[in-house]
A = this chain, B = another copy of it.
Amino acid sequence: MSKRLAFPVLTQFVSSTAGRNMTTAAYVAVTVGVAMMTLLTVAPAYDAAAHWIDALLWVCLAYFVFEWLVRLRHMGRQGRFWFYAFSGAGLVDAIGALAVPVALLCGAEPKSAWLLAILWALKVVPGIPGLRQLRRVLVQESGPLISVLVIFLMVVFLASVAEYLLERDVQPQTFGSVPAALWWAVVTLTTTGYGDVVPITLFGRVVAALVMIAGLGVFGLWTGILATGFAAETRRDNFLKTWETVSKVPFFATLGPAAIADVTQMLRTIDLPPRTMIIRKDTSGDCMYFVAAGEVAVDLPGRKVKLGEGAFFGEMALLGNTKRAASVTTTKVSRLLVLDLVDFRLLMARHPDLAETIDAEAKRRELENQ
């Protein structure tokens, strides 16, 4: 009876989350699952609580299977069945749901089969913040990065052949073949240095020293490339963010991108310490402000209004009304974008349609304020 009831409820719950990549429940399941899988391999722990560990693993597995099926149904109803089934997320869900059972059915030894539970960790990937940014950087800088990788491989191969020549007679057991020397080369060039394979001849050590220094170089290049990529990516993001801030402003929204880009470029970024007065009431204003970061407080008669990221104020100044209606003060370290009346007029000269939009806005507000 309760089962009959529970099912739709659960279904309801899961499909409600079908949109999002990860639910808290899923995070919990992944964490518990991986933890249990880990304990499974620790003899004492397993002997102590075999039942619990197995139970929890089965529960997690059940959850993932269930989640996958519900999502399939959910997407099926929306006619996006195949789209989802073969999307990244869909495949990850499928693997999470099927890997272990399939392995068990194939008659794999349970302890080994359950190790596939590690694949559940993949479900976390889409949830990682700023992952897209990382990917873009890697894509943009792929050229230099690959060339560094090729250089890395060439150094590894040349070095390992050299060491093989120099050390094979002295240490046949460790440098007895090029693959063995390759292992040494990778361990050394990445400056990991296990110390399980170490050259002992004079020239062998000279080569090794060169490889280590080359290791520093590879590190440096790699990082240099990525650092540059990030800087560019960040600038780009900032531009797009400013862009969005601007396009949020009602009477810029209607403009074409060229005009918005104009505005974006005419904006002066100013960083202000907290408790700095930006606008003094009844003074003559000549610019409007957008809050890019931080927060400001407008003290209207009687109450204080807080404006956060994306908000704008002082726009009346651009509409001809140059007397400030209220004082505005920063409450945190804030980054403001300032648009000067001068630049604004220049802007109107370039984009006549802007003028009309603004007259309309001006009229609308006058009516409001009456």
Contact = CB atoms under 8 A, between A and B. Distances in A.
Most chain B CB neighbours (cut-off 10 Å) among A178, A198, A216, A222: A216
A227 B223 contact: yes
A37 interface: yes
B130 A147 contact: yes
Interface string A127-154: 0111101100100000110111111101
B218 A219 contact: no
Interface in A237-293: 239-240, 243, 256-258, 261-262, 264-265, 268, 270-273, 276-280, 283-284, 286-287, 289
A157 interface: yes
A170 interface: no
A257 B112 CA distance: 66
B230 A232 contact: no
Interface residues of A, number: 113
B216 A220 contact: no
A23 interface: no
A310 interface: no
A194 B195 contact: yes
A100 interface: no
Interface stretch (A55-63, A183-191, A301-309): A183-191
A187 B272 CA distance: 43
Given A190-B216, A243-B271, 13 more contacts: A40-B178, A42-B178, A121-B154, A137-B224, A192-B192, A195-B196, A219-B220, A220-B223, A224-B226, A228-B231, A256-B280, A258-B278, A262-B268
